[in-house]
Structures are given as structure tokens and as C-alpha cells.
Structure 1
């Protein structure tokens, strides 16, 4: 019967709440003619409920009092125009920019690029390339010509011409004349993204189809793919050679190697015998090795096989002479989780960012119904004053310059807009080869910028959560500034009030009797007595010889819960104390009776307490002057809803 009663009451309570539940738009409280609704209160309450340390503040009545003070402080801050201070405005601007960033990125596309980069980081590629130059904004005919040339070179290689000879003969990368197009080993982020993808997507021993980058078309030959090595600190010993057949140098390096094999440390051998004058005084130290950072033929493959600390290589010959290299330290590779934050930053700043920009551009064009007038764009080319570019000429308003190149939303982009943009950034566009390409590049850049500006200006209306987060941060800035200037600084500089507060509240700062030392707890009285005797006679005691229950050390006050109750402070350390079937031994290093500290001794605590009092009075003054009207039925419904929820 009791269960039925409880169940019935529970159902009636739920029906009552459902029938009269408050709506988000219901007015909860009016403070000085400012209206605050249920949604605002609940959003703050639910956001803060899990981080509130004081359980009493979870009670709706208590939290509602904090809420009223919060709103009164804000009103006060706005009345003092703290929101217009340069510091607040600058910090708010920076935060908004950071918060807005994620709304300009397709998170799904970013996630794909991140996972791809993390997976590629597991491996490194050894490759060579041949470059056929073509401008990033070249005319279609020139682009096709470069592509066809790359295809012809590839076909010639497939018919028997070695890739290395083809690189020397055809590559527009000048370094190919000396390195045969060889790029060595590289991993993720080391090359522009299209080239990196071309290399990672080409099988070992194969030659890619032409890969387009902003430099032109690349043919890529992949020689090897291997697991990315761990991070290594390295050192080396160098014996210089007259030529590759220098027998004396070879004998010298072999003698050094024998020393290492017998007993010499690598540091000592490098210090005494290395001919590298820049590193021998440091035991041959070359620091952290990064692939491609040292122009020493063969060092990459040699180091790859040295996979533990203090391992060293057999002698090998480079363009400088004979070397022995050693690993002086080695670190495990970071995990994918450890790399994520760094990789996200790099993705947003390297050539991958163009993929994200292109994705955003397409999205914004669709959102704002972006349409272009290709004929008017072509006409704009005729208006360009290329010869006056560096002089930043003025663009007059007339029928020609006001012709519309594009429209979006309820706005338009004119020839005048694009020409003024070009003349404002002459260095950015001076190197573009043709006027057609220059105007096209400027139009695309200017359009992208204007669409981003339009989107940025609407973030608060399009995304309510963005607006809430932004507003909360701004309110936090304003309130911090208010507290700092009007409460903390104001109370801290009133030295007379601080000293008066100390005199009025002296008893708060009385220091209890305390001691510094050790407390030893034993099960057996005999162990405790023996240990106490040894301590009193200043013997060097081995704690391991005595089975203790606990050992405490540090500063102890008499109300410390770890100590026996009703201790005689004056006799501490003299005798063993029995408490709750345990025996306590005290070793006293320093002892202080209860005393009244001076103002200077507790100045920081006095300041903290006085500031709390000052702040409470400040809040009370705001409340006393305010006109507050609470919608009690709505508040009661919130109390029923949340106090019951918190109990569960």
C-alpha cells in the first residue's frame, strides 16, 4: 500500500510539473528594467553545475542569488563602460578570431587530411623527380604544353632512358644537374602536398604520371618506402681524404674503429682523432639528426640501421672522407595522439590549406548565391594599368569601373573594387606574367575575402552557441576588469583599512600551538619505547629495523586528525603516548606555543580576508540599490525540477 502511495504521488508530481512547466522564454527575474528569462538561467546553471565545488551552491535558491549578483555586476561594469576599454576590446577581438576559426573549416575534410598525414608519418619515401616548369596561373594552352612535355619525357624513360639521365637532360630543377633529381628520403610535410601525395601513391620502382604543383608538373620515381626511424642524437668521427683511393686515410679510420671495438669510448676517440674541427671538442656531437639535414653521402642508410643508444657504424666513405657515426641518444616516436595538435596546425598552414580554402569557397558561393559576369571580368583586364602598378594609381568612378563582376547576397563586386585591391598590393601581383592571370588571381582572392567577411559578420546569428560562448567570454573579461580595478586594487591600496581590519579581527589570526618533526606509530609498546629511547639519545636509527604502522613528518597543529586527542603540548617528545591501541613516538625539531602574529606576519591573509569582505559589501550595495522583481512561481518550478534532479 505504501509503494502504491509513493508511486501515485510521484505520478501526480510529474503531471503537475508537465502541466505547469516553465518555458525557456518565461521571464524569471527583472533587474533594473533588464529582463532575464529561464533559458539564460538554465544555460548558465547547467554549464556550471559539474564544476561547482561547493555543494550548497547547486541548490537553486543559492545559485539564484549568485546569478542575481552576476547580472548586477555586469550591469555595473557596462555602466562604467569597462567593455569599451582598449584591453578588453583587444582581448575580445583575439578570442573571437580564435573561436571563429573552426566555423571556417570543414571538420570532416580536416579530419581526413589529419588521418592521412598521421598514417603517412609512419613511413618515409626515397624518391627522385623531374620538374617541367609552368606557372600556377598559366593559360590553358601553356599548361597543356607542359603536361605533354612531361608525358613525352616519361615515355622516353619507359623506353629505356634512365631516370637519372632524364633528370639531368630535361628537369627545370637546377639542382638536378648535380644530384640527378635525387631528393633522398622524406616524410609528411617535407614537400608541397600534391608532390607528397604523388610520391606516397606511387609504388616502389614505378614512375608517376605528371603531378601538378604550383611549380609545374613533376615526374616522380620512388626507390624505397621504409618505416620512419626514431629520433636520434648522433656524433661522428671524420678522417679527411685526398681522394677516394686515399689508403692512408682508410688505414687511419680502420685503426680508430679497432680502438672502439676494444675499449675506447666514442667521445674520447672523436676528441683525439676526428679531423672535424667543429665537432671534435664535443666528442663529435652533431645534435639531433633529421633526414636531409646533413649533406653527407650515405649517412641516411647507415644511421637507419643503428637502433640503440651507443651503437656505432663501420667506417663509410662520403664526399668529405671516411666517417664513423654513433647514436648518443634515442627517443621513441611520438604517438598519433601526441602528434595531433601539431599536425592540425601544420595542415592549416601548409599547402593542404588550399584544399580547405577551396572547400570553404565553394560552400560560401553556394550559401550566398555567388554569380560572376565573365565578360565584365575580361573587360576589367583592359582597365588595368600594369605600368603604374607600383605607384598605386587612383581608380576613378565611371561607367567602366562600376561594372559588376559578381554578386552575392545583396552585395556586388565591381571592377573598381578589384582594381583598387590590385593597386593596394602591388608586390603580390607584380610577378604575375599576364594581365589576364593577374586580374583573375586578384578577382578570386578579393571574392574569397569578401565572402569570408560576410560569413564572419553573420556567425552570431547563424550559430547561437557561438554567440553564447562569445558573450560569456566577453562578460568574463568585463567582470575580471571590474573586480581587478574596483575591488581587488581598490581594497589593496587602502593600508589604513587593512590594518584596522587586522586589529578588529585579531583572533582570526592567532597561530595555534604547533611543532615541526616526525611522528612514528607502532603496534607494540616495546618497539615504541625502544625507538623513543634511541631518538632521545641521538642514535642513528634504522627505521627498517622497527615495524611501524605509520610515519608522518612536517608541521603539525594540535587539531591534526592524525594525532591522538587531548595531547599535552608541553610534554610532547618526552614519553610514548598510547591512543586507540597504537603507540606514538614524537621527535620534535621545532616547537611553537600558541601566539598572536603581527600584522606584517599575516599581511597576505589579512588582505585576502579584507578583499572578501570588501567584495561582499560591494555586492550588497549593488543589491540594495537595485530594483529586483522575481517571478516566484517560475523560480519555484525550477527549484522543483533541479533540486529533485540533484538528489538523484
Structure 2
């Protein structure tokens, strides 16, 4: 049960003049009209420069904390529901905001959705449909293909590379990464999201602007703290490396906080026992000489000093003799899964008449 609050808001973005004074003056005029009783949605459609929400009367839907820039978020979570707020300045321009609802409704909706489990065949159909649409949208027009397929197209508000989430879609670092590594009009392959699959098209890349340190301070703080910790750990690791002089067993005698652990066997594509997936560790281990202690290696969680004690070469002859058996086993496992799925779906869709009373006494 979550106590996190979500806000629902509408806004009108004014940034057309390239001048703060003119933008503020225009925003104040609209604010006065709204306070006097003008229709918010109508003015948003006419004047808002937000391409995602303007055509929808300024409606942004529900969003949680951390999904909007700080000034906008503060206004939405501190303002009264139903009240027209005075223009709020962000790096995008001036916003006139109206909070239309505030609740934890989103959690309730997700709870209901998560109870409805898709069958494997449904997921396959959805992925196939998303893949087909992506293929056609890359070759033809995105909006036209969406209309032909009766798909719902939504435009998100602008978001930053630091966010890690996409407004209206949610937490998806791969989608954020795609958005900032590709050019405008690029169409994506399907991305898996909690509700199914999405295919996105990059419609706009905001011109990079100078942003004050105070505005970015909270976003940058975790990365700076992590980097400082890593600098300190690196210094400790380098000092230890010098003192052990190629003998890992000396580590504990130098400082009882140090421990030497064995990973056990692992493969290049797999998880490393006692460590997990760490490509920095993995790459170094694969390149290290047998029984030679490595210099400190930076990984995801800290620095490692590695000694590879054994490396088993790939056995081409063994693979050749077993590959056919492995392939047959994999195919059999896949067929078994499909058979079990088919039986389950038949049971779920069957009309069952209970005649046990004809055979057993009460």
C-alpha cells in the first residue's frame, strides 16, 4: 500500500517570444483572463506551445514526483486543486498551471492491471503486432500507419536524459537512451512496458540551453557522490595493490576489512558468482593471465583486484558431438512449453459440466 501522491494537471506553456519579459507579460494576460472565467482548455488549445498537451486542452494526465522539472513539480504538488496558479518559470518558458486532481489513483489502476495476466500467446501476438507496425512505420509515415492499424498515438512532454523515465510511459532507461542517441524522426523497435509494447518516434530535440547550477544540483548530486566514493575506493585499492606485492593472501593481514573471495566458474555471457553481472570485472578477468594479480579494476559496485586461477578453453570437438543433442533438447523444451500453454488455454476456455453427482453419492 503506497502513500505516494500523484497529481493531475493542465498547463499553458508560453515561450514564443524568445524574451522572458514578453513571455511573462503574455502569460500574465492569459492568467487574468482565466481568473476572470475564461475556459482553460480553449485557451490552451489556442496559445500553448507544448505540442504534446496543447491540442488536448493542456491536460498532462497523472504524474508522480521526479517526472517533471522541479519548479513545475513544486507548483503541481503544492498548489490547491482547481486553482489557477500564477505563471511559473522553468527552462522551457512560463507555465500557467491548473491542478485538476491529486491522489494515489495510479497505484490502484496498476494493481488492477497487474492482476490480469496475459497468456504467452497474447504476448506473442502483441509483440508481433508492435514489430509489424515498427517495420511499416520506418518505411512509410508513422501517423498514417498508426491510423490504419487503429493505434493510439500520444505525444509526451519534453524530458531530460537524466530523468530515467518518460512522462506517460514511466521508468524505462533503454527508451530514454534510445531517445537521446538517435535523431529526430527516428522510429524505434518495440519497447516492453508494463502495459504491453510501445513503438516511439522522436519528434523533437530541444536545443541545449545553459541551465543554472541550482536548477541541476539535486539531479547531479547522486552522480557526484558516487564519483567521489569511487575516487576514494580507487585510492584504497591502489594502495592495497602496492602493498600485497602480487600475493592476494596478504590482503587480510594488511587490513581486516579486506576479504578475498572465490567466484567459482563463470562464462562470458553469464552472471558471476558472488558478484553478479559486471562487465568491467568480466572483461578484465577474460584478458588476465593465469595466476597473475591484476591492477585495480573498476566495476559497477567498486574496485576489484583479480587473480584468475583457472581458465577452461572452449572444446570444439565436444561441442561438435553434443550440439545436435543440445539442439534437440532445446526444441523439446520449447514444444513442451507450447503444449502446456495449449492445454492451459483449452482448460480456461472450456465449458465444463460437473456430473460428479451421477457417479458419487452425496
Q: What band does the TM-score fall into relative to the shorter chain?
A: 0.3 to 0.5
Higher relative contact order (CA 8 A, sep 6+): 1
Q: TM-score, normalised on structure 2?
A: 0.36
Q: TM-score, normalised on structure 1?
A: 0.21
Relative to its length, the structure with more helix (as a share) is 1
Relative to its length, the structure with more strand (as a share) is 1
